[in-house]
Every structure is written in C-alpha cells, then in structure tokens.
Chains A and B, each alone.
Chain A
Amino acid sequence: MDVLTLVGYLLLGVIIGSIFSIMPSLHIYNVAPIFILLAPQLGIPPEALIMFLLGNVIGFATMNTISTIFFSAPDDTTFLILMPSQVMLNNGRGFEVALLMGLGCLVGAIMLTIIAPSLLLIFPPFMSLITPHIHWVLALFLFYILLSEFPKDVGIGKSRWKRFKGGWRNLAAGYLTFGLSALMGFIIMNTHIIPVEAAYFGMLPAFIGLFAIPSLIMNIVSKVKIPEQKIQRSLDASPLDIIKGGITGFSGGFFAAVVPALTGGMGSVIAGQATGQREESQFLVSIGASRFVYYVGAFFFLFIPGYTVVRGGLANLAAIYYIPRKYSEFYAAVAGIALGAVLAFTMLVAISYLLAKNIHKIRYDYVSVAIIIVLSIITYITTGIIGLLIMIVGTGIGLLPLIYGSRRLHCLAVIIFPLMLDMAGLAGEFARLLGLR
C-alpha cells in the first residue's frame, strides 16, 4: 500500500477518533477494539488499520481535553489541569484553555516528529537499559508523589496541636487516598474481581470513579453556573511560554511513554517541578504536549522497525493483528503525526469555539448528571455490576482529595503501585499478606 493511502487512513482515523473523544471519559482504548473487529469485514488491510488506529490516538490525545475543560470530567492525564481550567472557565476563558492545550499538542507533535528518526538509533538500547531497573524507577516516582504533598495551611491559632491538625488534615487525606487507590488497584489486578471477558476494560471503572465522577459530583453540589465565554483573538502567553511549556511537557510525556505505568500527567508534574514551572499558560501548554507525546508516542513506538516496543493498551491489542516492520510505514507514521496533529487541532478549535459560544446557555448541573449517567452506562456495559461497584468505591476515594484539598495525583497509585510490586517480583507475597492467595 502506498504512503499516501496510509496517511489518508490515518487522517480518517483522526476524524473518527476526534468525534468519539468529545464524549467525556470515553477512552479511545475502549472504542478502538470495535474498529479492529470491524476492519476485516470492511476489507481494510492490517497496515491501513494500524495507521487508522494511530489517527484515533492522535484525535483522542488532542480532542479529549474538551471533556476536562468544558465538562469537568478529566482522565488520568488531564486531572492536573482541572483546577486551573475550571478557574479560567469561570472567568469566561474556557476557549483560551482549549487553545493553549491544543497548542501544547501541536508543539508535542512537532517535537515528536523531529526526534522520530533518532528513535531508530536510541530506542532499542535505551529500552534494554531501563528494563532491569524498572521496579525501582517506578518506586522512585511513586514515593516522590507521596512525599511531595505540601500542607496547605498551618491553621490560625497558637496551639501546636491545632496547627498540627490543620496542616495534617490535607496531608493525611492525601496519604489515605494513596493507600486506598493502591489497594484498589492491587485487588483489581491480582484477583478475578473483574470477569475475564471484561479484562480488557479492567481499570476503566476505577479510572472513571477516581478521576471523572468526583469532579462531576462537585459540580452538582456546588451548583456551578458557567458564565458567557470570551472568544480570544490572541493568547495570554508569550512564544517563550509556549516553547518552555512544550519542552517540559514533551520531556514528561516522552519519559512516561517509555516507562510502563507512568502517565503523561505524572511525567509532566516531575518535569514541571524540575524546571520550576508555575506559570498557568505554560502549565496548560505542557500538559497538552505531555498528553500528546504520552499517548501518540507510546503507540508510535510500535512503528520502530526491527524492534517491537509495545506500550499502552491499544498497542498491545493492535500488535496481535499487525506489527509494522517497514521503514516506509515508519516515515508514513511520522508524516501522519504531523498532519494528523494539525487536523486534530483544527477540529479542537472549531468544536471548542462552538462549545464556548453555547456552554453558558445550558444547565451545568444537568449536564453533569447526564454525564454521570452515561459513564455509569458505559461502565455497566463493559464490566457489569461489579464494575459499577468498583466505580462507586473509586468515586468515594476520588472525593477525598477534593473534600480535603489534597492532591489528586495520589489516585495514580491505583496503577503504579501494583505494577511496581509486580516488576519487583513482590506481587505474590503482598497478595498472600492480604489473604488474596
């Protein structure tokens, strides 16, 4: 199949992926398996399917930011921007957030395409280097999250106990969130609590519960009213802010794409703290870049000829059907990422514009209720009643940081903790300790 046709399939994937990705919390990894099943019946060859899936991921990485910005339903990579984007949305600047995040995606795409040829040289030995160390590298990040939570307040009053209580209120809530998320993740991954036929969607209820539903509940409780949005013709960010945010996000996202179990959001936090980033527009650009590089990069690694790197759920599934081995496919994917990112950005701008123009007309609490219903239906269809129960437990855990003002980042222990134990060969022992085996 010629390169132009392959790129055509990729762009089609971007459009279809983008449309599905507007739906809050509907992960493209949960939709793409349907495309994989349909492809042979539609006569789509495997090499075209793989490009189509790459397009899906590009569309998702760019467009799914909308559900965080306008509907407060983040996922495990965008929950970090929830607070600044909500503040900006309440100040009528939702469209600006979308533009900054979209710009981040574009910068991420540019940087990914620039470094792509060097991946052919660097990537295989780098993977051999990181693999024997992965257990402690994961632990390094995990403990950093735990230890870097900062007390929000010392409380007013001279009594030491009162101050200690005030300061530790959010710290303790953060540690509790971490512990409960870690335990929930470990139980899901090390038992058959999720039926085998739904194993592919195993973490979906936990993610929806931990990240998406708590914010929606807060919207309903606080009766949020979104004001009329301004349509900015210029951005409150200098080119230097965009470059700095882009580089930070790229570093975080790339590292997270390489290291299993890390997510783009987490990589971005570490990279942001290392570079001393605090400026909001830079932060939004960096999360956009990080998210793009994390999702697209992870899937793109599958295209590196002569070396099979399978990163992420979709790549795992796609690799069963087809693994690209030709250089022409690799470079078609590189070109496709550049073109696809531009297409996805254009769609993001258009859809954000429409939403920004109309969001103040709709009752936000009703929208939040509707999204919770949709998410519950998705969870029920994919994982059944047990999935719904996990989602409810996850929601309880996910509400803790919102109520006590601690970091939602702790919820990521749901995936990192069990994987870290698994890679260190300690999962069995821990399971026995909990009486699970």
Chain B
Amino acid sequence: MKGVTHYFFAAALASLIPTLMIMAVYEKSFIIVLAAIAGILPDYIDFKIVRFLWRVDEEIIPEWPIPNASRIAEKIAKLIDEAWEKKKVINVQIHTIKTGPSTWRKWFIYIDPDRQRIKVGIGPIQTFGGRTFDATIEEVPPDKRVGEAKFSAPLRYGYKDRTIEVSILTGPMVAFAPTDDHVEVVFLPWHRYASHSIILAGGLSSIVFLVALLFGISSFKALMYSIAFFVGYTSHILSDQFGHMGSNLFWPFTKKRIEGLKITESADPYANFLLFWLSTMILLWQMNSAISPKPITFPWTYTILGVEISIAYLLFLVAIPSIIIIIARVLFWKPRGDPYLRNLLREEYGELFG
C-alpha cells in the first residue's frame, strides 16, 4: 500500500480503541497521530535509512545522454553468472537516466529465467507526473534501443511476468543471491526485511512505553501510547501482506520475506483508494461516537452485541462507495498499460500478459 493509505489506515484502526479516542478528544492528546506515524514508519525506515546503508556491490549506470541497451544487458547477465560462479550475493543498484530538472529517460529490464536471457529496452523521456514524450525515443539510435544478453546460471525470479521499469527519481536495487541450485533475484533486498517485523513492532512499542514513563506520563497512559504505536505499526506490516512481495514478519528470527497473499499490489490506485475511503469512514464514525451527545445521529442505528451500528451509514457511506470503487477498478485498472513496453516486448506480449 502507499504511504497515505498506511497512514490513515493506522489512524482508523487506532480510533477503534475507545480509550484512545477519549484521550484524543478530552485530553487534547495526539495519540491517534502517533498511531498514524507508526503506520508509515516501516517504509520510512526502509526508504529513508536502510536503503542508503545497504551494501552496494555493483552499479548499473546507463551511459549519458544516449545509453546503450546491449551493454547494460551484458553487464546484468555477467553479474548473474558471477553470483552463481563465486557463490556470493551481489547487490546491484540500478540508476535512472535524468535528462532535466523533472524529466527522466525511462528504461526497462526484462528478466527471462526460462530462456536465460536479459532484455533491456531504452524508452522515451517522461516527466515526474508520468507524461511521456514519445518522439524523444528517436534521439536513441535504433541499434541502441533494445539489447539482449544470455546468462548461463540457473535463475529463479518471482516476478517473471513483470518488467523492471527504471523511470523517475532513484532506480531500484536487485540482489542476485545464489542458493544450492539456482540464483534468486531479490527485488529491493533492503525493503520489508527488518523493518516489517512484528517482533520489531513489539520492541519499538516497548521503547515508546519506556519513553512515555520517562516523561512522567502515568503507566496506564504510557501503555495506551504503546498500544497505539503497536496497532499503527502492525497495521502497516499486515496490510502489506495482501500484496506480492510480502515481509520478513519475524526478523531477527527469520531472514527471508514471507511471500504475500497476492490479492492486490501496492501501486494499485483503486485498492489504495478503497482502503483510504474505508479508513476515513471508520475515523468519521469513531469521531462522532467519541463525543457525547453525538453531533450526528445516523438513521437505522441498532445496538448489536454492545456495538452501535447504523445500517444507513454502512449502506450509503461504506458499501455503495466501496462497490463503485471496485467496479471502477474492474473497468479502468490497466496495470500493464505502458504502450512502449508492450511494443518492446511484443514477441512475449501474448505469453506474458495474455
């Protein structure tokens, strides 16, 4: 999920604990904000700290201004073989091609483990906002636009139906990690490794508890701050598990990411918006419930097992909007719609994307 979704989802989950909402309203506490901050923290740790400190063994720096696709493909293939032959993990930082203050030339890496080849394609220039200037592909001579190289190591790549797109800001890192019988391609090896651990969530929550005590906060409230933090942090880890990559849930006891449920993916705008919408609705409901008397009385409200539920709220603000978002996703979501990429991979297109 995206940062904004994690942030508001964490706040919404924390708001479900009545004591936290009471503290927020009647003691002017920022406890819900603490949960939201914890909800974005795992990615903050990864993207703003860990990735800089992760070991880099090799870099792919495309030639500037006109990159040569064949040379890039050859270098990647050579690194895969080197990882296999020397039986050592090679972390490779891939760099983007910056062409102006807010423009980059996008390029692609397609890893085909079955045919043991790497295909690289150089694309047109695009802006940060995603606007592509198709004509700029003409600046790259045709013989430099597409390159291919073979490797001999047995390779396993969990995203083999995906192409690595290197476009804006900073490029991704991949690790070629040899095992006994193959080389594993680990996409973003520094991501969701230690930071996305439930054990770490528990450890950090304990630190929050101790810090609160140090500031003279009562043990009950310190516990509440610690719970808010834990709820926010774990909400991030568990919601990420619905995606493909998964997380190393029990670091430091485990060393590998546990594969995700593959129900959605972090870049899916509709899934993100759905969770954002639901979070906002939970927050609004809880904000209303925390005030006495309630500012808004929703129609068709019943108490079931001690919990107040408004059928009207559920129907008109939760169910119907959710259905609309899901229908919109079915109609409009084109996750692999890049026309240049389709063209580049035209021979595999049928096989890859159906």
Contacts and interface: CB of A to CB of B under 8 A. Distances in A.
B24 A136 contact: yes
A426 B29 CA distance: 11
Nearest to B95: A156
Contact of A164 (B52, B59, B103): B52
A116 to B, nearest CB: 19
B53 interface: yes
A129 interface: yes
Contact of B102 (A83, A130, A144, A240): A83
B296 A154 contact: no
Interface stretch (B33-41, B115-123, B237-245, B336-344): B33-41
B4 interface: yes
B61 A154 contact: no
A274 B4 contact: yes
Contacts of A156: 59, 61, 95
A16 B32 CA distance: 45
A144 B7 contact: yes
Given A279-B131, A424-B30, A274 B272 contact: yes
B314 interface: no
A130 B51 CA distance: 39
A273 B33 contact: no
Sorting the interface of chain B by its residue count into under 10, 10 to 19, 20 to 34 or 35 or more gives 35 or more
Given A87-B127, A274-B4, A425 B48 contact: no
B264 to A, nearest CB: 12
Contacts, number: 138
Given A154-B93, A154-B170, A140 B295 contact: no
B56 interface: yes
A156 B95 CA distance: 8
B170 A276 contact: no
Given A126-B296, A424-B30, A150 B59 contact: no
A129 B284 contact: yes
B315 interface: no
B30 A160 contact: no
B273 interface: yes
Contact of A136 (B30, B52, B93, B268): B30
A428 to B, nearest CB: 13
B3 interface: yes
A430 B3 CA distance: 30
A148 B3 contact: yes
Contacts of B61: 156
A279 B284 contact: no
Contacts of A132: 25, 290-291
A278 B168 CA distance: 12
Contacts of A157: 59
A83 B37 CA distance: 28
Interface in A147-166: 147-148, 150-154, 156-158, 160, 163-164, 166
Given A125-B295, A143-B37, A167-B48, A153 B28 contact: no
Contact of A147 (B3, B25, B131, B270): B3
A364 B276 CA distance: 43
B4 A144 contact: yes
A276 B273 contact: yes
A425 B130 CA distance: 43
Contact of A130 (B48, B55, B270, B287): B287
B170 A153 contact: yes
B47 interface: yes
A147 B49 CA distance: 13
B169 interface: yes
Interface in A378-429: 424-426
B324 to A, nearest CB: 11
Interface string A338-351: 00000000000000
A129 B296 contact: yes
Given A147-B37, A154-B51, A125 B296 contact: yes
A280 B127 contact: yes
B349 interface: no
A84 B101 CA distance: 11
B269 A276 contact: yes
A87 B126 CA distance: 12
Contact of B32 (A140, A148, A273, A283): A140
Interface string A249-274: 00000000000000000000010011
A135 B37 contact: no
B136 interface: no
B44 interface: yes
Contacts of B47: 150-151
A135 B288 contact: no
B248 interface: no
B169 A280 contact: no
Nearest to B11: A140
Given A139-B30, A153-B169, A425-B28, A276 B272 contact: yes
A22 to B, nearest CB: 27
B129 interface: yes
B5 interface: yes
Interface string B268-309: 111011001000000010011011000110000000000000
A144 B4 CA distance: 8
Interface in B76-96: 93, 95
B288 A129 contact: yes
Contact of B2 (A129, A276, A425): A276
A241 to B, nearest CB: 11
B291 A129 contact: yes
A41 interface: no
A270 B3 CA distance: 11
Contact of A148 (B40, B95, B101): B40
B287 to A, nearest CB: 5
B3 A152 contact: no
A144 B51 CA distance: 21
Given A136-B30, A140-B33, A147 B40 contact: yes
B129 A129 contact: no
A128 interface: yes
Given A147-B3, A153-B170, A275 B273 contact: yes
Lowest 6 CB-CB distances: which A-B pairs, in order?
A: A276-B269, A128-B295, A280-B129, A164-B52, A273-B4, A274-B276
Interface of B: 2-5, 7-8, 11, 24-25, 28-33, 36-37, 40, 44, 47-48, 51-57, 59, 61, 93, 95, 101-103, 127-131, 169-170, 267-270, 272-273, 276, 284, 287-288, 290-291, 295-296, 332
Given A83-B128, A144-B36, 10 more contacts: A128-B296, A129-B287, A129-B295, A133-B290, A136-B33, A147-B7, A153-B170, A157-B59, A163-B56, A167-B52
29 contacts: A83-B101, A83-B102, A87-B101, A87-B127, A125-B295, A128-B295, A129-B295, A130-B287, A133-B290, A136-B24, A140-B7, A140-B11, A140-B32, A147-B44, A148-B4, A148-B7, A151-B52, A151-B169, A153-B170, A156-B61, A160-B56, A163-B52, A273-B4, A274-B4, A274-B273, A274-B276, A276-B270, A424-B28, A426-B28
